[in-house]
Structure 1
């Protein structure tokens, strides 16, 4: 099974627009990124997923596609991300997204970006149901309220049995050939539906409902916007780690700082590649985890780390943090040296460190200072660096990166 996801971000948000909101809901900023990005990032964590298609409003398609490219450049998700223009109706937008899927795709998750709070677990359970042989699977929630059917005058005509009713959510999972056939039939016969499962039902095919998630709510009305703000009981309690490292100048390793080579800088004496910035950063992350320091993980007595890339070592530290359930939120780094001058290279270093940490550059700060001729750094005998990292421990609010 080659599973892809189609994320619908083409709606006009008419209800919110009528309330005076000037931005379409899928482009509302949340946690430093537009709302549709949260769904994309969550679905990208599903191991079975082979790629994604994001469907954008046709009238702002080029701008939306450029925004997605910028987000992916800042935080790569490791999957192909295609785009498609939406249509007049939701089902038209889905059809456009299905048309954009590559030939090897055989199954699809269709998700509304207005439901930004889905979890990878929900997507995984839908995928598992497809793998077990179901061709159409949707999540649903049992209703707590009694439902009445009414006529045009508001008179009750029936009371359905509540035990047989479900409030349906997305993502919805389908065998791709089946869903394409359903959309083709809808186009030929002029069907107008509110979700893709209705199309499959009209073909006479069975649709399986699995347990949905109460938190997988849809942003529809102005009062729903409060869901985008933190609830008091969910405000995370971050932890902080401090790192410090020193290297002396002398014949040894070419000078790099945050993986960025600085021409004309003195060489450094080191066992690994001598990247003092990444060494301090790793110590700060390990401080958040309570895992000692880099000397414990990568001892300089081990020949395996001779001239080792600090970027690779940092990746191992980040993998350790992920296994322990921590999420790095912010890094603040100060380089202390008389030479070389860090200022001209600051932005390149910042961008490189942000990529290594999986953060946007706005969450990484790089500073530099001299010690005005004092001490060994002032006498140009070496360089040192301090780093402070903020991280979210496991169980502290919603997780939004790997």
Structure 2
């Protein structure tokens, strides 16, 4: 591109939970579409990087979910905003940080940048248009109920859409809309339409992944995580290890149910994905986690790990206890954890040892657990 370039900010929406995309995938592969890995990078980053190379935007803002925001904030070199319950709220949240007179709004689901469309958007910029949107026409015969419709009257509206920032901010205060052009049109704004592209078809369902087949495979690198947890005994509580009830007169002193095995395993998974630690996710200062079921906490963390593109390769778990005796429970603990993590039993190893009567464990005052895990990127191409 040449000549004077208008000052434009870019908003990329990537806050969806990909329900339609994930619903037919097996539980261990229910990755959100924005986190499909292209080599080492997620799809949302590929989209943002492609835009960054194409145009010198004043600012690039990615709208993400609250869970993803906590993970990516400070992790990646982009500006992130927490999305809302729908597209309108998400874009409205991002617009708070836009200072330029023009804003381009796009979706990570339209991952395949078509420079011709974006040049047409810029070329159509004039003094009277409030929004410029690409569209496609339908080549097929159209019926609505029992009536045929003139297909020349039908437009399939795509994104990205180039809007006047203040006009869009005002329009999105008036209701919920499926895109920016419909919001501005509802206020009587001037919409200019330019020819769109089949390349901008949205990635919505699992079957749509076929269009990604030429992209780079996910990296095969392995990520190691370590977790360690320790709890003293407390009389009168149920003892749980790996989600299995252990026959004992003692339980664990803890804010949650005290399952030291699942706590260490959860921490190891967080370590492998760079997701912080269990205390950040479930602080013991928060009463909503009082007596929390550790299986639920593990599921929340592992479901998140899957959603951003990781899966477990194996886990090696060492239970350090003078009492109780663990040998008779090892098989059941292994089976229970494998089921929770959608794994084969062979990928979960349970070891038990003592401290030879040394230290507080040797004095039968508590139990410690050490866990190591290996994780990798989900090979989503297996689902094509």
Selected match of 1:159 from 148, 156, 175: 148
Q: Does 1:32 align with 2:40?
A: yes
**2:164 match:** 175
Distance 1:44 1:179 in 2: 23
Q: Does 1:9 align with 2:14?
A: yes
Distance 1:6 1:29 in 2: 21
TM-score by structure 2 length? 0.51
Sort the Cα spacing of 1:45 and 1:131 in 2 relative to 1 into closer, same or farther, 3 A: farther
**1:112 match:** 107
8 A Cα contact 2:171 2:187, kept in partner: yes
8 A Cα contact 2:87 2:178, kept in partner: yes
8 A Cα contact 1:30 1:228, kept in partner: no
**2:31 match:** 23
1:175 CA drift (Å): 0.5
Deviation string 1:7-47 (CA, Å, 9 cap, x unpaired) is 00101101122112421101111243211122212221334
SS in 1 for 2:209: helix
8 A Cα contact 1:56 1:86, kept in partner: yes
1:157 CA drift (Å): 4.2
Q: Does 1:195 align with 2:184?
A: no
**1:91 match:** 88
SS in 1 for 2:61: strand
1:100 CA drift (Å): 2.1
1:142 CA drift (Å): 1.2
Q: Does 1:222 align with 2:203?
A: no
8 A Cα contact 2:11 2:62, kept in partner: yes
Aligned residues: 209
**1:212 match:** 196
SS in 1 for 2:72: helix
Distance 1:124 1:49 in 2: 14
Distance 1:223 1:90 in 2: 23
Selected match of 1:55 from 41, 60, 63: 63
Q: Does 1:44 align with 2:55?
A: no
Sort the Cα spacing of 1:31 and 1:213 in 2 relative to 1 into closer, same or farther, 3 A: farther
8 A Cα contact 1:46 1:124, kept in partner: no
8 A Cα contact 1:45 1:120, kept in partner: no
8 A Cα contact 2:22 2:206, kept in partner: no
Sort the Cα spacing of 1:182 and 1:119 in 2 relative to 1 into closer, same or farther, 3 A: same
**2:116 match:** 121
Q: Does 1:185 align with 2:193?
A: no
SS in 2 for 1:55: strand
Give structure 1 stretches of 5+ with no counterpart: 70-80, 150-155, 187-191, 235-402
Sort the Cα spacing of 1:200 and 1:158 in 2 relative to 1 into closer, same or farther, 3 A: farther
SS in 1 for 2:200: coil
